[in-house]
Amino acid sequence: MTSFILRAATGYLMPLLLLLSVFMLLRGHNEPGGGFIGGLLAAAAFAFHALAWGPRATLELLRADPRTIIAAGLAAALLAGVVAAAAGEPFLTAHWLPIALPGVGKVGTPLLFDVGVYLVVVGTTTLILLTLGED
């Protein structure tokens, strides 16, 4: 039985950790941060949830199998490289959209690669933690 305090704290910490993880993801292609640290922060949020509510509840919250999240991340990272290869340039050469988004900055294949890393880290870490948490 988990404590009421842990469950209540998870309700407040999880949204904050997920918001911070997205912030770290979006600023990562211009400044320190990126997909890896953002993914670890998101995985920490799901780890708190698993400690408070159990692995099954966390899997229901994810709405996708962690293996599917890993596959989507690998596909996004691969797509970031294929864009350059399709243009006849070396694999993973950066391509940028001509417009910048407010709060994000320039959007291009480095951000797509970071999203792929983010998803792979979230899926892998969550899969490991949930596998260890099952009885």
Q: Are 94 and 81 in contact (CB under 8 A)?
A: no
86-119 burial code (b ≥16 CB/10 A, e <16): eeeeeebeeeeeeeeeeeeeebebbbbbbbbbbb
Per-residue pLDDT of the chain (135 residues; tens, 9 = 90+): 678 999 999 999 999 999 999 999 988 866 777 899 999 999 999 999 999 999 999 999 999 999 999 999 999 999 999 999 999 999 989 999 898 888 777 888 999 999 999 999 999 999 999 999 886
- Rg of the chain in Å (alpha carbons): 17
**Torsion, Cα of 4, 127, 12, 24 (10° steps):** 160
Is the distance from CB of 121 to CB of 43 less than 8 angstroms? yes
* Angle ∠(23,16,34) on CA atoms, nearest 5: 25
**Nearest alpha carbon to residue 39 among 66, 75, 79, 65:** 66
Q: What is the pLDDT of residue 99?
A: 87
Determine which helix (DSSP H) or strand (DSSP E) holds 99, and give its type and residue range: strand 96-101
134: three-class secondary structure by DSSP: coil
